[in-house]
Structure 1
């Protein structure tokens, strides 16, 4: 891609761009987006060229590639962090998480949205509070969950008209206040998700909190102290 782009510019605008440099930058940008490994590819370009002359253009190209590739990756089974990997559970004091209750680490009384709100409204709430997802409640009952990635799948120009109920996840997985953090971590790892609504008790649809991977991380950090 980089080589083709530089050759095109040279032929169309009579430039004298260095084709090998464009080739290397294009290569690392492609891999960064496809493998979701931006930092590794930036290190790679320094090793390949033996210097840092291409680092800045590579950073720009890698950012563009990483941003526009979204959640897609050539490694569909790759987890985001070691905390999400079942193979590394023991490293994080998994036995300790069996003793810790959700109620002590969840965010109580979370912000909720309604099914008939627009995606634009929800997007603004997520941005304001720096959160990635919200429970959807109707008449006091949990009916779904909507995340930033759900909204990003919808074209920006129609988010002011599209309603939450049209894109929210309704096949819900919930935990209770009495469940352990180990239970939550198992669900996170097996389902590839990062947050769960917390209900009052099994079979209930009353939302009392929300628990995220960050909450698990907080518990682990406290334990390590």
Structure 2
């Protein structure tokens, strides 16, 4: 269904606006050569190139529908591309900007739309790929526009700085960064990400129920455990909270409370929870740092799975640091 819908929508868009077909290199070449007639007139609307307002509207729509077509392609399971659409939208955006400035007569002299098309490609590439040097030299090389080297440098640098401020990672590395699998030049962070925190999970904790009486808890959990923390779970195994030995130290010898107090009355929420599927070594360390806890529960598929201790994680970190330093 998704494939059929995506294919149908893309087919309609390409039929109405033929310049969107394919990678768009023919359109880019036409824009760089200043031959805008072949771009704006080759469609069912037969837009006249002498009507500047219609040309501007058509080119703006071309950029917008290029983004839509690319999104539909990705959504349908195809490959919408990154490099070619970036050049396509960058060249047309730069061209439109120059045409608008010329039409508004803000300056006494006319701007060159083709030069702005080249600068637009460099700017968008520097922002999307976060590779300003690649953008500068590539656009200068493929267009032969070395006389625009300074404008290319300025636009690419500004684009990179602004984009990097709001989006720390490029389109190629953002998904890896979200998963915590991106190798960085930060040695500490790199070592933490290399750690397999799955091996740090401890499961030798006695589980207790929220309706369990204090006396029953002492007999079946505290007396048989060497740990001072007890996870509270329901009958489905879902994690509800924790009970520390310090929480019951003042009442654990009051026998009159053994059949009066239930676990739910003195249990409390964990400082933070580690998600087995989503968290990684770096995010786990961040949670320890923010919560200031020494033990954090691990939840897998919404159910209690075990605990990770800060001391064990720091020991593993030191061992891994020694390993990568050899």
**Structure number having the greater strand percentage:** 1
**TM superposition score normalised by structure 1:** 0.49
**TM superposition score normalised by structure 2:** 0.35
Q: Highest CA radius of gyration, 1 or 2? A: 2
